[in-house]
Amino acid sequence: MKKVLIGIAAAIVLAVAALAVAAHDHGDVKGGHMMMQGCGGHMTGPMTGMCGQTSDPKFLDETRELRKGLHDKRFEYSEAVRNPETSQEYLTKLEKDMADLREQISVKLPQDARGNCAGCNCR
């Protein structure tokens, strides 16, 4: 009887771990830690990390305020979603504001980061 209970407990732990890995691998985990989501981690060149991102100091300097604004909007959005009194119109406005900021940032991306995003839905 004891062996059966241990086996069932082990199976449950493995099932939960498998579900957590599957959710993370498919992008179902919320949080928005990547600047451009939906890229699947494609490498795009020597100065870039994930598709649509770059470590070019000039780009980072030029987009500092835009990236800070996007970060602030993401925080504002996550807090608004948690508040049950938040209207859908306000959430839609925040989503549009974030999309506008992402577009402004993507326009400033260096060509090597912008040109290699074919099919990865970065923008």
Please state, in angstroms and rounded to a whole number, the distance separating the CA atoms of residues 123 and 43: 16
Read off the pTM: 0.50
Selected residue with higher pLDDT from 111 and 82: 82
Burial class (CB in 10 A: 0-12, 13-18, 19+), 75: exposed
Token pair listed for 64: 């500092």
What single letter denotes the amino acid at residue 32?
A: G
Mean pLDDT value across residues 107-112? 80
Could you read off the pLDDT of 54-65 as tens digits, one per residue?
678 888 899 999
Identify the pLDDT of residue 46. 39
Architecture of domain 32-123: Up-down Bundle (1.20)
Could you read off the pLDDT of 13-30 as tens digits, one per residue?
888 877 777 665 544 444
Token pair listed for 113: 């980061």
Please state, in angstroms and rounded to a whole number, the distance separating the CA atoms of residues 121 and 23: 20
